[in-house]
């Protein structure tokens, strides 16, 4: 990208109304306006472009970015870490080994105790239905009270690194990937994306990836198809929201109970396993009760149910029925014959798109950095111009 | 604070004799002169003020701050982390899972091996009577030998993040809090602080908080009252020291076996649980021997003893007898009906002072940063002026 | 070192052909030319000299250095951490608790997922014969593919922090130590170094230290003696390589089955325990099979075999037969009567050289930093001049 193009991109960012992002949390993509989402994507691209040119977009001289991971994670952890580092923040994990589900007093107090020099709090809490999003709201309310009451000099913003409802850093990275391969967000209107359940020899994968995808892609005029076996539906309100959003954006939202149907003529396919909503509800209850036996019984049952849908696999055959579709995945994928006997995708399909999925993942650090940037800087375009002029080298 | 006031505060700091802090450890508050303690408080306030204004007080371009935590910690860990980050140091944990009580050769060698680029070593070791302080001295002696012998180019200073004897970063944060709400250190003379034991449904809490409080507050002309049930006395030498210091500073030191008596007319109250000295001695011995059965028996016995003093609770009733006292706590508090059935403090009392205790805690990162600053910079006032003139923005 | 000397050292560095180090991994010392090794030592000394003068050699404004430790480590971990910090990189551990020996797809994918902003990947993997070096090559191939294919904007270089074959950051720190005490690399020609097995009450110590030492020291005209009991030979190819290299450099390589013979008239002695090659092969197989019983049986057998060589101890007596030799060790040493009943070295011998071994270890952070520096900067001498001119203070 030549410098004039970079400057033009900054101008375009400035024309968007991003005031609502300043000092705001990023919890659910559908709480953000279209302009705000566009601003996140534009900023992510600008930050990536600057770094690729060897220009450091560091904006903080000190400060902490806290990572609270209530579930294992490698890629999102490193994406958050990279984003914080890029902007000059030291990333620190908060290890919450004490209580599985912390409540009330503890959250309120702890959130303040760790935030005296904190700018951003990234949270992953996706294991329990009805918990993750609520927890993020509790943390946010706690630090905002702290700021209001003179405990914290600055407002630490919360970034959702995956909850029970949404996974916005993933879906926005996915969207940026689609936008880049298609020649811009506008080019996505009228395109068809198939978000399909796929078989996996495990159970209990969160619903937030498919929910995040249909909740986001339905806002850009795309035809969104959601396919899954009976009983594997998503949170009903989110499906309804996707339908409303698709209608409003000039796209469509169609449900199907066949991967083949969903793939037919699709431009993008996203075959991925998730747990049935009802199973997740029972699992949440059992985990809450610490009922180990119940959990084991549920696993046996859920795996047996899964196995009845072993044919839900993204095969070469199915790919042929698409419009030379791009394969998407949040990784790691369950690859038949590679990471498991039978999984979400045939090995040859995955291998053909492997590097594409890496590139897709590569946007995540920049999407997170963009969320931080827009939440912490009142005049993001102005600061980006400063960064460009300053041209501090990433490396001597 | 307007800039002239800031400059005046720096001038006042310069007038204090802080030479003794340079390249010195901060292990026990009573090893420091009054001028040195005032310098720590003044520097902490200046660093906080600078950051609150968006000016970065970063003084290091690289370097490590090591954290050695031999006991669980969230708030002190994050305070140390924040302090290091504020000044430009990368904070690194040393995980000592190998040996519980390391001795001799190992400490001497390890301390050097991890210190080639280390500026500060923060240590928490508060579990064993007679151990923590000694360990800090061993680490300090080891790195000082290393420096003398050309192994380490700079002297890493040790900061006590809580030992068996003192908890100076806590007590100085407490003092700064008292000073701020009272209008300065001078205003504390003649005020009464009640450091009282309180009931907790746990046992084995360290003695270093009450010891730190009476060992520090007794130096500023305050009337210090120490109250506890029979058998819950502190290390005798420290009580004696508090009495001597109080007399010398124009205050007083009074012991009592009643919380009510201690609270009567007090300006500040600090109700907090701790373990009986004799129990800690037995516990140390049992831990040393790895006597699990003995430890369990001791716990049963100690909890039963505690339960006899369940009425030692900071109630609304008791608060009424004070001079509208400010409630203090190092957090987390055992709050009756919230974090336990019966605890140190009534829920309504705690809730009224909750945000005050958060503000109290908020001074700790700056107190630690001040200790680092004064130990690592030969001319702290001069450097503060440089920071003010440079006015590097905390964030673009 | 006066500034002119520093500038002369930079000029000498510039005269060496270091192009081959740029964007290259550092896996085995013998894959590097003599000029390249000299460049590493020269750069390490320059970086140390700069820092000792209070000049910050920071070259990165942001970026990550990843540490993958598949074996416990304190000193190498802190050396890597210090090196990254010195140059401006944030060091992050990758915790691989999932699979002991990760293969194929997983490595390829994970290596990319964690490398979007990564400059250097430091790996320790020394437990399994035939595994560590291969793993490092896999990681390197994965990120190089990622770079080639537009996934990663920059090439993360891999630094071997100890594998099954070599331990180059250790051996180069050892060599720098020898060079400094002897007055330069040239002065080492003709000197004799005894790398000898020594008794330890443990088993299974990696072979990479002695292999690294004979594989490196044999290139500088030294007389290298390798001594060990029968059955404790190193990987045969490396012994052969040492012999070839010694011949080519004007030195010699001699094997012996007696510590006394090896020490006789030696200038440097390096008595250290390692596991018999054959035992390591069996251990690797048993670990691979997860055969816990087999491993326990092997340990019993191997310890019994070790015990037959309990007299392989570095004693005062033996030291007397040397040419006032300098004692070397990578630490921690098994010190008779200190860290174990009978070990590698007599307490009085170790104590006399204790601070020397600390100084030896002190070169490791700078050797690692030099490897990073030369791999990431196309014109290292030019940048060192910039650093010297800029003279950014390490601390205000």
pLDDT number for residue C97: 59
Res. A337 pLDDT band, cuts 50 70 90 = very high
3-class state of residue A113 by DSSP: helix
Q: Which residues face B123 on adjacent strands?
A: B68, B160
pLDDT number for residue C58: 98
Tell me the CA distances in angstroms from B272 to B176, B227, C27, C112, one per residue in order: 19, 10, 56, 51
Q: Dump pLDDT digits (tens) for B54-83.
A: 999 999 999 999 999 987 888 899 999 999
The contacts of residue A72 (CB under 8 Å, 6+ apart) are none
CA closest to B394 among chain A residues: A61
d(CA B39, CA B10): 10
Is the pLDDT score of A120 beyond 80?
A: yes
Contact B51 A387 (CB under 8 A): no
Domains and CATH numbers, chain B: 3-166+364-390 (3.40.50.1370), 170-361 (3.40.50.1370)
Distance from CA of B249 to the nearest CA of A (A): 32
Nearest to A105 among B91, B335, B392 (CB): B335
Contact B90 C88 (CB under 8 A): no
Distance from CA of A5 to the nearest CA of B (A): 23
Which stretches of chain C score pLDDT less than 70? 97-105
**Owner of token pair 């914290």:** A152
pLDDT number for residue C105: 64
Average pLDDT, integer, range A183-207: 95
Q: Dump pLDDT digits (tens) for B121-141.
A: 999 998 888 889 999 999 999
Chains in touch with B (3+ beta-carbon pairs under 8 Å) read A, C
**8-state DSSP, B19:** G
Angle, CA B79 vertex, CA B74 and CA B80 arms, to 5°: 105
Contact predicate A86/A57, CB 8 Å = yes
Tell me what the pLDDT averaged over chain B comes to.
95
Is the pLDDT score of A321 beyond 50?
A: yes
Contact C338 B105 (CB under 8 A): yes
Tell me what the pLDDT averaged over chain A comes to.
95
3-class state of residue B124 by DSSP: strand
Distance from CA of C151 to the nearest CA of A (A): 5
Give the mutation candidate from A91, A96, A109 for the B interface (greatest B CB count, under 10 A).
Answer: A109
d(CA B203, CA A211): 47
d(CA A69, CA A90): 16
Q: Which residues face A270 on adjacent strands?
A: A195
d(CA B368, CA B160): 10
d(CA B204, CA C188): 59
Angle, CA C118 vertex, CA C115 and CA C121 arms, to 5°: 90
End-to-end Cα, chain B, rounded Å: 22
**Is residue C341 packed enough to be buried (19+ CB in 10 Å), middle (13-18) or exposed (0-12)?**
exposed
Contact predicate A261/A188, CB 8 Å = no
Crossing angle for the helix pair A208-217 and A168-182, nearest 10 degrees? 50
Edge-first strand order for the sheet with A192-197 is A252-256, A223-227, A192-197, A268-272, A326-327
Chains in touch with A (3+ beta-carbon pairs under 8 Å) read B, C
**8-state DSSP, A323:** S
Is the pLDDT score of B246 beyond 80?
A: yes
Task: Note the ipTM here.
Answer: 0.95
pLDDT number for residue B157: 98
pTM for this predicted structure: 0.97
CA closest to B378 among chain C residues: C396
Q: Dump pLDDT digits (tens) for A233-259.
A: 999 999 999 999 999 999 999 999 999
- B117 chain-C contacts, CB cut-off 8 A: 51, 82, 85-86, 365
Cis-peptide into A332, omega within 30 deg: yes
d(CA B219, CA C250): 72
d(CA B139, CA B157): 10
**Is residue C339 packed enough to be buried (19+ CB in 10 Å), middle (13-18) or exposed (0-12)?**
buried
Average pLDDT, integer, range B145-160: 97
Average pLDDT, integer, range B79-91: 98
pLDDT number for residue B33: 98
d(CA B312, CA B229): 9
Is the pLDDT score of A102 beyond 50?
A: no
Tell me the CA distances in angstroms from C319 to A49, B58, C61, one per residue in order: 61, 50, 49
Contact predicate A277/A207, CB 8 Å = yes
3-class state of residue C256 by DSSP: strand
Distance from CA of A360 to the nearest CA of C (A): 9
d(CA B105, CA B346): 49
pLDDT number for residue C72: 79
Q: Identify each DSSP E strand in C99-222 by its residue range.
A: 118-125, 157-163, 192-197
Is the pLDDT score of A95 beyond 70?
A: yes
Q: Chain C within 8 Å of A224 (Cβ-Cβ)?
A: no
Nearest to B395 among A59, A64, A109 (CB): A59
- B114 chain-C contacts, CB cut-off 8 A: 74-75, 78
SS (H, E, C) A13-77: HHHCCCHHHCCCCECCHHHCCHHHHHHHHHHHHHHHHHHHCCECCCCECCCEEEEEECCCCCHHH
């Amino acid at each position: 990208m030549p410098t004039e193009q970079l400057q033009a991109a900054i101008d375009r960012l400035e024309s968007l109304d991003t005031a609502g992002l300043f000092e705001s949390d990023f919890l659910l993509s559908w709480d953000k306006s279209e302009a705000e989402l566009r601003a996140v994507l534009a900023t992510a691209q600008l930050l990536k472009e600057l770094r690729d040119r060897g220009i450091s977009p560091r904006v903080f001289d000190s400060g902490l970015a806290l990572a609270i991971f209530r579930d294992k994670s490698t890629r999102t952890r490193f994406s958050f870490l990279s984003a914080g580092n890029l902007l000059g923040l030291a990333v620190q994990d908060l290890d919450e080994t004490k209580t599985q589900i912390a409540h009330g007093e503890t959250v309120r107090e702890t959130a303040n105790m760790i935030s005296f020099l904190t700018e951003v709090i990234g949270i992953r809490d996706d294991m329990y239905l009805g918990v993750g999003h609520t927890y993020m709201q509790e943390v946010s309310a706690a630090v905002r009270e702290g700021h209001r009451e003179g405990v914290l000099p600055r407002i630490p913003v919360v970034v959702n690194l995956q909850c029970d409802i949404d996974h916005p850093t993933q879906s926005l990275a996915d969207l940026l990937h689609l936008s880049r391969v298609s020649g811009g967000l506008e080019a996505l209107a009228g395109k068809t994306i198939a978000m399909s359940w796929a078989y996996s020899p495990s159970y209990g994968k969160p619903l937030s990836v498919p929910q995040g995808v249909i909740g986001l892609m339905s806002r850009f005029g795309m035809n969104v198809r959601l396919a899954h076996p009976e009983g594997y539906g998503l949170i009903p309100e989110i499906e309804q929201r996707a339908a409303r959003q698709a209608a409003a954006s000039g796209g469509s939202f169609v449900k199907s109970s066949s991967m083949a149907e969903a793939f037919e003529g699709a431009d993008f396919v996203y075959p991925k396993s998730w747990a049935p909503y009802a199973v997740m509800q029972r699992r949440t209850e059992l985990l809450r009760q610490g009922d180990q036996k119940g959990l084991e019984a549920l696993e046996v049952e859920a795996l047996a149910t899964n196995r009845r849908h072993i044919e839900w696999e993204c095969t070469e055959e199915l790919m042929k029925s698409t419009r030379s579709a791009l394969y998407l995945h949040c990784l790691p994928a369950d690859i038949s014959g590679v990471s498991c006997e039978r999984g979400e995708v045939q090995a040859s399909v995955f291998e053909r798109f492997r590097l594409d999925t890496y590139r897709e993942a590569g946007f995540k650090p920049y999407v997170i950095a963009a969320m931080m940037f827009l939440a912490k800087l009142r005049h993001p375009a102005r600061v980006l111009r400063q960064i460009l002029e300053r041209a501090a080298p990433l490396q001597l």
